Structures are given as structure tokens and as C-alpha cells.
A and B are shown apart, each in its own frame.
Chain A
Amino acid sequence: MIYTILTIIIALFIIVIVAKPFGHYLAIVFDYETVSFKKTIYPVERIIYRLSGIKQNTQTWKQYALAFILTNGFMMILIYLIFRLQDILPFNPNNLKALEPTLAYHTAVSFITNTNQQHYSGENNLSYFSQMAGVIFAMFAAPASALSISFAFMRGLSGKAFGNFFVDFVRAITRVLLPIAFIMGFVFVFLGAPETLGPSVIAHTIEGAKQEIARGPIGAFLSIKELGNNGGGFFGANSAHPFENPNGISNFIQIILMFLLPTSLPFTYGKIIGKKKQGKTLFIAMLMMFLIILGITLVSEYQGNPDINSLLSQNTHGSMEGKEVRIGIGQSAFYSVVTSATETGAVNNMHDTLTPIGGMMVLCNLLLNTVFGGVGAGFINIMMYAIIAVFLSGLMVGRTPEFLGKKIEGKEMKLIAVTLLMQPFLILVFSAIALWFPMGYHSISNEGYHGISQIIYEYTSAAANNGSGFEGLKDQTPFWNITTSIVMYLGRYFSLITMLAVAGSLSTKKLVPESSGTFQTDTAIFGMILLGTIFIVGALTFFPTLVLGPVAEYLTL
């Protein structure tokens, strides 16, 4: 327990220390005005631009969005083909078959949308080529895309030109994702994660049984999985598997890597718009939400299940079901909250067997999608709530709402209104469909209130592009593959594009100079208004559903 609290404090301390300088670093490396890495990375990038014919011209927000959609679409088709043809492609030492069409489609959508929802088990279904050319490739491309979009969004808000998607995309990989992932890959290998292209090892146990031990290029996989908030596991068991999370230090490093980009972006934003306090306010607001959710989860997990506690001689065990003994309750709960807050989706324990309240907290992180959130997408989502907060409360100072000196008017609010509508639409309507049709609810492994949690979690995870599962759900069916693919696709592209359009609309507006009459968006009061807006507009929408799922389960334990 003390060890847990200590690691949490150290982890948060590191994040608070690192987020700001790293955020500023991001602002610098994506800046178009100054050339950074003149002697190192820049020449390499120029070769990439030349070879791929990137013109580096400035794009409008529409061109930028189109480049994003088309590039991602092309990549998705490519990955789909790899999964479908893996039996005839190289690096398939275990002679795995091709994925069936709906699963291949679901997996392709899942990885390119940064969701990494997995309806398959890596070691049984994917060849090394699929893991490397399909999965790892998408694990770089997806966060790089979202990071690019978030930079275009920030530039738009600050009134600068939107930049060029391809240049941003290349920079995201060459200057951020690849260098860190490269180094961290070695660290994970050093800590015990395998990195090999050899086939599974056959072990003969003492009893004489034959055991097949899967392995593969895990070190390289692991670092980008966490850094890019991807979360898809090389193995079905994800980071609960010893090869994918060998020890306490690797567990700790994974948490820091998940946190790194989402916590830095608010500071990047503050620097780009030239108002550092704005970024700090956002960071603190998100950190508060995080701490509340983490606190409740820890208490709930340490309390455990009263029915089981009463069976044990000591009731201080907490809930160990579905958790690795070597990781323990505290580290599992912390990991779960971080992976859900940052929309990573990696798991080191089974979320299905978290206590009802613990599970609900993790679910809340997904529903809110603003407690840091995934690379780029989470930041853009909290900006949406910030604009709503400004719009609803900004009038109270007696001026029409302004955000960063730009008037928020009908056009922006229309875009935000549909964006806001999209998430409850995806989660509630699809859950209702799944609960109505047998092919949906037959996948539930645990009837009753918990069944509702399983279904809600699956779609919320898809809509928020988190990817983790309440693993009880038997989701490898065409119904689940297709419906969750739709949810992931809309959950990803719809809101990113509409919010980019908001930035596009704001960027053309005249800047209203700040005065003492201006609504301040960098104060503690605004932080509170933002949290209130997220709570009332975002969270309360799901209150009835949560009551029927985890709350009812908790009350009827």
C-alpha cells in the first residue's frame, strides 16, 4: 500500500516535472518558423519529402483534413490487406491463417483509429509480419496523425496558418515518436521483454507435458504501444503477460510513457497561443479529475468485494480477482486509471473483474474522454468542453462569448453541437441495439447489471478510441466486429474533423483585444466552470446508464 502510494506520487511528480518542458519541446519541433535539428533530423526529413513528393505547402483546414482522412484511409486498406494475406506473406514462422474479413476489417479500423480494440489474440492470430508491418506501422501512423491534427487545431486557434499535414505527420514520427520509442524499446528489452523473429519455443514441463511459449518482436512493439496511447497487446493478455510487462520498473515506465504526450499537450497549447497560463489551467483541471477518479478506484479496489472479504479470515485483501499477483492491487488500479484516462487501452489486469465502482471509474474516464485523453484527440475534446463552458458561462460577464479573443458564434456552436451529440449517439444507440438483438446480448458472459457494463464499456472504449475491453464480452463475432468498427470510425474522424472546422472558422475571425471586461479562461474559476460543464453536460448524460450498470451492481453485491 505504501509502496503503491509512493510510486503514484513519484509517477505524478515526474509527470508534473516533465510535461511542461516536453510540451514546450513539442511546440518548438512543430514550429514552421524556425528550423530545428538542422544538422541531424532535418536533412533526413528533406530526403523523405523529396522521395514521397511532399510539397510542404501551407494547407487550408479543409485540405489538411482531407489529407488526414485520405492518408488514414489508404493506410487502413493496406493493413487490411496485410491481415487478409498474412498466410502468404513472409515472417510467419508459426504458419498462422489469414484473418476472416470482418475481423481483419475491425482490426484495421481499430489500429488506424488509435483505438487498438482487439477481438483477436495476438499470439494465436497474427504473424510477425502482421504485427510489424500492420500493427506497429499503424501504432506510429495513428498517433502521428492525431498529433498533427492537434497542432493544426492549435495553430488555427492562435490565428496562424494551419501548416501541412504531411510535414507534421513526418515530424511527429521523426522528431517525437520514433526517437523515444527506439530508446525505450531497448530499455524494455533490457528489462526482459523478448525481441526476436524466431518461432514459439516448445518447452517440456517436469510432468512431461508439452508447452508452447509464444514470443516475437515485443520490445519494439511495447514502447510505441504505450507512447502513442495505442494500447493493443502483442499478446492477448496485453501488459498482464510477463513478456509484455516483465517487472515493476517496466510497469512504471509504461505508465510514464502513456502519460507523456497527453499531459504535455496543454503546455504546448499554452506556448503556441502565447498564453502559458491557459495551458496550465487545462492541465490542472484534468489533473483534478484524474486524482478524484484515481482515489475512488484505489479505495474501491482495496476494499474489495464484501462477499469475498467475509469468506476470508482477514478482510484486508482487497479485490485480487483478475489481477496479476506480481503486480498487485495498487499498481493494477493505478495502471487501469492511467490507461483509461489517456485512452491508451493497454491493461495489466482484467477490467471486467475490477470492483463495480472501480470499473465504473475506469468507464467514466472513457465516457468523459477529457481526463488528458489520447494523443491529440483527448486534447481536442477538452478544448470542445472549454468552448462550451465559455459559451454557456461567458455571457455572465455581460459580453457575447469570446475564446482566445475570438467571438464564438452560431457557426462554431453548430459544429460543436453535432460533435457533442456524436458520443452519446454512438454509445447509447449502439448499446441499445446490442441489448435488443440476440447477436448482441448473447455475447454477454455475465448476465444482469454487469452485462450492461460489458456492453457499454465495449462501445465507449470504441467511441473514445481507447481499445481496452471488459474482457468478459465474447466479441469476436461479425456483429461486434462491424458495429464497433463503425463506432471507432465515427468516434475518431467525426470529432477531429468538426473541431478542426471550428478552428478553421475561428482562425478567420478578428482578434478582440483583451480588456478587464473579457471573460478570463486562465483562472481557477474557469477551471471550476470547465469541470462543472464536463460533469453536467458530459457525465450526467450517462447517469441513468451508469446507475443500471455498475451502480446497481455495486448496490446489489
Chain B
Amino acid sequence: MTCQSRLLAIAVRDLVVGFGKHIVLDRLSLDVYRGEILGLVGASGGGKSVLLRTIIGLLPKRGGRIEVLDTDFDASTSDATRAMGRRWGILFQQGALFSSLTVLQNVQFPMREHLDVSQRLMDEVALAKLEMVGLSRSDTHKFPSELSGGMTKRVALARALALDPEIVFLDEPTSGLDPIAAGEFDALIKTLQQTLGLTVFMVTHDLDSLYTVCNRVAALAEGKIVAIGPMPDVLQSPHPWVQAYFCGARGSKRAQERPERS
């Protein structure tokens, strides 16, 4: 599969982000192609979430350029920024569900704001989406405070996918899930990517996710992308952090087994 010939979904060039004197991302460049699943790995506190939040415009940047779906937010109007909300979906680490709305209302919220469709269709599509992410019908009238961690992630994913976005950003989608649920979640993301043609930008620590669902993996260390490519290429990288991450006790065990989960 030649990635280079494909269209860019996200283009980050020379991005600098810092807080006070502390520079988190130092002239970072990253390309994400349309239709691929990119996994981003990095040390805890190393700036993965900062990169994600900067790309989606929640954190200010000090320098560099970010284009998402050929839109540069610096150059675009607030209307364009609003229109962007229709084209991407974001799964926050803690779910970020609206606590005063039920599960079904949470999923319908973006539809209500961005689409002009009947209530009946919203109900039907929202229920179909919730079912696709594996929630039972009896859960749809619950409030977020009544959900377990895994269910919260599923609802958050259903909400991120509510508008059939072109890109979904997933911030540690499988953290806090049991291995079975995490495996199901990975399979679900893969299925959705294939059926809907999604581009997925995924921050993760889950080695299983990296091996099984990601088309490419990017390693973030010292504020830069130090290795990027399909999993075997990244494993070949000489960078000490990448070696420590993938060839440490847990990483190497996983690399040897390498079962293909579909």
C-alpha cells in the first residue's frame, strides 16, 4: 500500500507548542493520509494529548501550520471552524459526555446542531449507531453517571461518529477497558474504518491496538516524531526511546507473538 500517493487528511508542519518555559512539541511535522488508522505512541506526559488537542484547536500553538482536511484554522473564519465540527468526531479520554443528557440525547446532540433531519430519523440512526458500538437498547435512556467506564467509551465513540465524520480523533480509546472489551473496540474501529472510510488518528498505549488495527504508527519523543511508518518499520528504528518502548519486557513479548486479530 503506497501511502504517499494518497490524499492528506492532516498535515502538521513545524509545530511548536509550549507552556511557559517548557516546550512540549518542538518543530514537529506529521502527515496523516485519508482512510488510514494512525496510532500515536509516546511517553506519559510526552505531549501526545497536547498534539491531539493542538490539532483540533483546543490549545494555542506558538508556531507552525496545521491543516485538517485542507482547512487551516489560522486562515479560516469562524464559520469554517463550525463547519469543521461536522466533519470530525472526537473521543475524549474521559468520554466528555454531557452529564445532563441521556445516552441517546448525547448521540443526537451533534445531529440536532448540525443536520436538518426529522426526530424519527435521528432516533433511528442514533439507536443504530449505539447498537453498532455494542450498547444494548436498555442503556439508551441512562445518564452518563450511571454508565461503566467501558460503556462511557462506547457512547463517546457513538457520539464521535454521530455525523459520519471524515476523521475521528481517539484519545486512548482502549485505556481502562478489559482485554476482551479492548479487543472488541479495536475490531469495531477497524470495521467502522472499512465501512465508512474513516481516517482515524488514535493516541494509544495499547500495544495490541498498535499491532492489529493501525496502518501506521508514529512515535513521539523529545517533542518530535522520531519514527513513523508501518509497525515493522517502526520496530527497526534505532531511536533509544522507540527501542525501549517496543523492545522492553512487554513490547518484545508482544512483538514475538504477533497474532493477527481481525
Whether chain B is bound by chain A comes out as no
Q: Could you tell me which B residues sit within 8 Å of A by CB distance?
A: none
